[in-house]
Amino acid sequence: MKIPIIYFSSSGNTKYVAQLIKNGLICANLEPELVPFNSLKRNNLNFEEIEVLGIGAPIYVMTFTLNMLEWIKKLPMVKKKVKFFLFDTNAGLPGPSIKQIKKILEKKNFKFIGAIEVIVPTRDSVFESKYFKYVKWSRKKIDKIFQFGIKLAITIKTEEGVLDWSNSTLFGSVIRAYFQKLEKLFYKYASYLIGYNRSECIACKACEKGCPTNAIFFKTIPVINHKKCILCFRCLRNCPNNALYFKLLPKVKYFKGPKTIRGYIPPDEILKEYSQLNAFSNKMTPKRSSS
């Protein structure tokens, strides 16, 4: 059974969630494949072969990142119903993103089977804040994500039910409706508002190296491909000398990343733990008599 899990992750949170879900599915004897969004061109999707599609993204301005959103909108209508599940990571304000993506895909004949939204004290933020100095993964959260993978597998195998998710509904929907109009304008023009101060630039190429969508190319100065830019502001944040800045907020302090990441457990360790548990419970299960 072909189960690609397409994910985009700029600072690693969504990648971690994707790996945990993948391992949850593996634990239930399925064989999913992780596909980073940036490698998609080489991995063209053949929906004749795909049975289940997983899609995950960070939330930026209360929706999936622009690159994912645009890609999802361009997915073809599928002839047979391809099942799909969604996941996102956010800092507590996901808005009705899942609802939005679900609607787009259902119109293309995909069949929703579940979603999970994961709040993380962020590893990724635009502006400096004392609250965003660390990321803490709780064991409970890690288990919940892994078990979501297992539950998905059951849903896939038994063809039963849909795993629902708790979503911020009315409040989020109202804000989102307004945002969406503003956002279109913002996304179209805001990357043109990234200023460059040549005298501060040390040509370290941190802007190019750190760009998660390869939208910056540094030749003698940084050149932005406005079509690829998703406005994560990582180039501004990565610049050690503040040579890049947002023209509307020239003096603002940008987030340089969390000081510590606590509670992280490698996804393979979790899989090992659960597999041992499984082996143990199999041994403990009494054999049925043949009569």
Ligand X SMILES: Cc1cc2nc3c(=O)[nH]c(=O)nc-3n(C[C@H](O)[C@H](O)[C@H](O)COP(=O)(O)O)c2cc1C
Task: Tally the residues of the chain.
Answer: 291
Diameter of the chain by CA atoms? 86
**3: which strand partners?**
32
Give, as ranges, the residues between 144 and 163 that touch ligand X (CB under 6 A).
Answer: none
Give, as ranges, the residues between 59 and 98 that touch ligand X (CB under 6 A).
Answer: 59-62, 89-94
Nearer to ligand X, 24 or 56 (CB): 56
Nearer to ligand X, 132 or 274 (CB): 132
Residues near 219 by beta carbon (within 8 Å), at least 6 away in sequence: none
Q: Does 123 bind ligand X (CB under 6 A)?
A: yes
**32: which strand partners?**
3
- Rounded Cα distance between 167 and 62, Å, is 12
Q: Least separation, in Å, of the C-beta of 286 and ligand X?
A: 44
Please state the separation of Cα 162 from the chain's center in Å: 21
Q: Which two tokens stand for residue 187?
A: 């996304």
Q: Least separation, in Å, of the C-beta of 284 and ligand X?
A: 38
Q: Does 126 bind ligand X (CB under 6 A)?
A: yes
Find the angle CA(47)-CA(100)-CA(89) to the nearest 5 degrees.
Answer: 90
Nearer to ligand X, 155 or 213 (CB): 213
Sole window of 53-61, 66-74, 103-111, 261-269 interacting with ligand X (rule: CB under 6 A): 53-61
Q: Which of 6, 14, 146, 267 binds ligand X (CB under 6 A)?
A: 14
Q: Which residues bind ligand X (CB under 6 A)?
A: 9-15, 58-62, 89-94, 120, 122-126, 232-233
